[in-house]
Amino acid sequence: MATIAPVSSRSSIQSRSVHFALRVLQLWHLTSLDAATVAVVWTLAFARAARVSLPLWVPVIFVFGTWTMYVGDRVLDARSAKTPLRARHLFHWKHRHIFIPAAICASLAVIALIWFAVVHHQMPVAAPERNSILVAAALVYLGSVHTPRRGFMLKLRLPKELLVGVLFTLACAAPTWERVVGHRAELVAPVGAFILLAWLNCHAIERWESPVSPRVSVSAFSTILAVSSLFAAAAFRSPRVALLFVAAALSAGLLAWLDRNPHRFSPTTLRALADLVLLTPLVIIFLP
């Protein structure tokens, strides 16, 4: 006859399971794997929505490339220590002897994969030029943030969070845009929605971590984006594109909830959850 575990024992098991899950979530963030995961999910979701088949080297490049950029950004932030250091900065600096060589190897892998794609004619003709523009813009951003001369960025007066959102989303959409035939216009609106979503993600983190909260209300704008995305989903004839909007609406709604309840979680967990809620397009990847 089966025995029933005491309530206290079951609670202890549940508590340990929750603690383990939170620890995994925090490590996902602390190791910079969160941004790389979001990048590859968004890239594949755009492709599936447009019925584009991407070669395997494309998501691999996005994983390695995004991870390298974020590792470099966090190590440089920790080195300069001009802004308040968070757990992610301290973690990268403490383990820089691992992160820096690994990032160099990942960069070399990206270069090798790009060379392979060019040599074997697996890259669209216009792709190198467009990708070079995005890479140059990302390098200009990193240089402007991590060098003493910041006048260029100040003159532009572009919010850092908005610039990151634009670059990140356009990079994710680029492989699909280069390969889609005949219906590129359908991608413009969902890409715009995801640019706003990426900006809200960055802005929410800045709002939670800054002692002086930015003026823009994350919960209000996230709610507006969620409602607008649902209306857009209803207006699009393509079910796959509509599903992109639904995913954006769900992510925006979850960001709004996090913004209203930031004190429920530790800073590191909250930061990880802000990226976790961006993975809603996963459902699109598994469409037949």
User: Is a pLDDT exceeding 70 seen at residue 144?
Assistant: no
User: Is a pLDDT exceeding 80 seen at residue 64?
Assistant: yes
What's residue 28's pLDDT? 97
What's residue 83's pLDDT? 64
Which residue did the predictor score with more confidence, 211 or 157? Answer: 211
**Which percentage of the chain shows pLDDT scores above 70?**
80
User: Is a pLDDT exceeding 80 seen at residue 157?
Assistant: no
User: Is a pLDDT exceeding 50 seen at residue 5?
Assistant: no
Average pLDDT of span 236-245? 91
Q: Which of 38-52, 144-158, 256-270 has the lowest mean pLDDT?
A: 144-158
What's residue 152's pLDDT? 47
C-alpha span between 67 and 46 (Å, rounded)? 20
Average pLDDT of span 62-79? 90
Mean pLDDT for the chain overall: 84
Evaluate if pTM is beyond 0.95.
no
Confidence band, pLDDT 50/70/90 cuts, at residue 17: confident
What's residue 260's pLDDT? 92
User: Is a pLDDT exceeding 60 seen at residue 150?
Assistant: no
Q: Which of 109-118, 153-162, 252-261 has the lowest mean pLDDT?
A: 153-162
User: Is a pLDDT exceeding 70 seen at residue 126?
Assistant: no
Give the best-scoring range by mean pLDDT among 17-21, 41-45, 148-152.
Answer: 41-45
What's residue 160's pLDDT? 78
User: Is a pLDDT exceeding 50 seen at residue 231?
Assistant: yes
What's residue 132's pLDDT? 54
Which residue did the predictor score with more confidence, 3 or 98? Answer: 98
User: Is a pLDDT exceeding 90 seen at residue 115?
Assistant: no
Average pLDDT of span 99-124? 87
What's residue 84's pLDDT? 72
**Which percentage of the chain shows pLDDT scores above 90?**
52
Contacts of 270 (CB under 8 A, 6+ apart): 208, 258, 262
User: Is a pLDDT exceeding 70 seen at residue 272?
Assistant: yes
